[in-house]
Amino acid sequence: MPEQLPITTYGMEILRKEVKPIKEVDTKLIKLVQDMYYTMDNAEGVGLAAPQVNENISLCIVDISCIEEHKHVKPLTLINPVIIDKHGESVIEEGCLSIPEVRGKVTRPEKIFLKYNDFDMKELTMEAEGFFARVIQHEIDHLHGKLFVDYLDEDELKKVKAMLNKIKKFKVQPDYPIFSKA
């Protein structure tokens, strides 16, 4: 049975660390992936990276099929993902389960090419664009200690500063479990 994991929040050190690559897939990793999907679904998210559940490894998941216009897109588990090329640009408002109640406009490439490992540790490549590409980029950023608020311009950042401070002090309680201490 999958387990609901608490989500790390803004201000916690693990969200700013570079992750370690995964060398092998074992039952512990498979269980973690199952727990991450369960956690993400219960938090009504579309992506989740290992640092968001307090694991310092190169793993993230994406599932945008809960959104009507993306219901045909299959869930994706990315082990050791790396973006190898990007094209175009778009600006869309983003949010993050680790930064509850905060949203901001972020500019990202519209189309990406990436490589990653599957559960057999086989290297695969893929192309993604639009919203799917944006969610993948957001999650891969987590693997490098980068958060969507790092992309906000000075004016946008000023608007969310007070809420970021509340999150850092654990004074925000979303509808899903979070770590209660740094």
- Known catalytic residues are 139
116 Rama class: left (phi>0) / alpha (psi -120 to 50) / beta: beta
Nearest Cα to Cα of residue 128 among 85, 69, 68: 85
Q: Which residues pair with 61 in a beta bridge?
A: 48, 77
Q: DSSP letter string over 99-123?
A: STT--EEEEE-SEEEEEEE-TT--E
Task: Please name the amino acid found at residue 92.
Answer: I
Q: Coil, strand, or helix at residue 70?
A: helix
Residue 9 to residues 14, 179, 180, 182: CA-CA distances in angstroms? 9, 7, 9, 9
What is the number of other CB atoms lying within 10 angstroms of the CB of residue 52?
Answer: 29
CA atoms within 13 A on the CB side of 177: 11
